[in-house]
Structure 1
Amino acid sequence: MSEEPASWARMVAKNELAEPLPRRWAHTQGVGDRAGRLERVLGHQAGLLTCAALLHDVGYAPRLAVTGFHPLDGARFLRDVHGADDQLTRLVANHSFALLEAEERGLREVLEAEFPLLEDQHLVDALVWCDMTTTPDGRPTTAEERVAEILGRYGAESVVGRFIRRASPEIFEAVARVEAALGAQPR
């Protein structure tokens, strides 16, 4: 990763997602754009957030889907193929309360062992905000609309539906914390 980290992250995500999954690529670009809005809140961590935002869904790439659980597949790819930073791989692995979905899939212990949660709540919340306030087409939305869209797309009783229903209170709280921090910052 000799080039600027955000450029590298954008290139990796584009290479893996743009052609096989253009809608996922549109979402990824939107999530990356949202990360740019948090620079004044995160300061020196803004670059890490941008990289995580651009790479959070890379595990959806068909050639990377080993377990079928995109946070784990993506984090493993970044760690094993690209030698990515530990914080970055842990953010990707645990984005948007992925641990709860891992539990639904019987992969919680695996995810926790390989990619422990980061303790930096501001950074974790920031990635939740970026992901959960961006539509599948890359446009800004509310977390409530995003959760409703996910439920509609996957169905309430699917693995993803069960996960998103369990995670939604935590998603809404994380988004509220970020929006409060944005509101408290000088413009």
Structure 2
Amino acid sequence: MNESMVEWAWRAGKTELAVELPRRWAHSQGVAGRAAGLGCVLGEDADLLVAAATLHDVGYAPRLAVTGFHPLDGARFLRDEHGADARLVRLVANHSFALLEAEERGLRELLEAEFPLLEEPLLVDALVYCDMTTTPDGERTTARDRVAEILGRYGVDSVVGRFIRRAAPEIFAAVERVEAALASQPR
């Protein structure tokens, strides 16, 4: 029996995060749960989104944290250790406007060169939506509350704080686009 992409992602994410970073794993599970509800707007890419949602923070795993920038570390792990689907790897590398954080860290050119942004706006927005409407504990929240929580946790003047303030308008716009796509679906 062949393992599905979603099953594999769940196993890989759990292996890397559940024991050492249980809160991060709870967040990842919540993000994946949000993604599972977007099949109606993503069609054949629904499983890809769920897999990316499950693995989007895998780069936080201590053994994978080479650069300290989790989107890059996670994408490299998926590509190099697992030979994962290229679209999946690029989604993880670029989730939630990671290019802006990469710029704050002096890694933008490297991230863009290794993992170009997918030219699939709804898929990219959907991962932003799932990540930015899920708390660190895996519960649902609003994008505005999530951004405020991130600022409170990291501090306004930290690298992450500077990034999230720059990214906030883009995050809110992406969430609004996904909510509009969901609202346009027949009931």
Report the TM-score range of the alignment, normalised by the length of the smaller protein.
over 0.9
1:112 corresponding residue in structure 2: 112
1:163 corresponding residue in structure 2: 163
1:78 corresponding residue in structure 2: 78
Q: Partner letter of residue 148 of structure 2? A: A
Alignment deviations for residues 138-169 of structure 1 (CA, whole Å, 9 cap, x no partner) = 00000000000000000000000000000000
Secondary structure class of the residue paired with 1:95: coil
Could you tell me the TM-score, scaled by structure 2's length?
A: 0.99
Secondary structure class of the residue paired with 1:64: coil
Alignment deviations for residues 85-128 of structure 1 (CA, whole Å, 9 cap, x no partner) = 11000000000000000000000000000000000000000000
Could you tell me the TM-score, scaled by structure 1's length?
A: 0.99
For the residues of structure 2 that align with 1:159 and 1:27, how far apart are their CA atoms? 21
TM-superposed deviation, 1:186: 1.3
Residues matched between the structures, number? 186
Q: Partner letter of residue 128 of structure 1? A: V
1:122 corresponding residue in structure 2: 122
Q: Partner letter of residue 142 of structure 1? A: T
TM-superposed deviation, 1:52: 0.3
For the residues of structure 2 that align with 1:32 and 1:66, how far apart are their CA atoms? 25
Equivalent runs, 1:5-154 vs 2, <5 Å? 5-154=5-154
Secondary structure class of the residue paired with 1:81: helix
For the residues of structure 2 that align with 1:101 and 1:153, how far apart are their CA atoms? 16
For the residues of structure 2 that align with 1:158 and 1:111, how far apart are their CA atoms? 20
Secondary structure class of the residue paired with 2:63: helix
Q: Partner letter of residue 35 of structure 1? A: A
CA RMSD of superposed structures (Å): 0.5
Unaligned runs of 5+ in 1: none
1:184 corresponding residue in structure 2: 184
Unaligned runs of 5+ in 2: none
For the residues of structure 2 that align with 1:62 and 1:90, how far apart are their CA atoms? 21
Identity %: 76
For the residues of structure 1 that align with 2:96 and 2:186, how far apart are their CA atoms? 27
For the residues of structure 1 that align with 2:145 and 2:79, how far apart are their CA atoms? 33
Alignment deviations for residues 8-45 of structure 1 (CA, whole Å, 9 cap, x no partner) = 00000000000000000000000000001100000001
For the residues of structure 2 that align with 1:30 and 1:119, how far apart are their CA atoms? 26
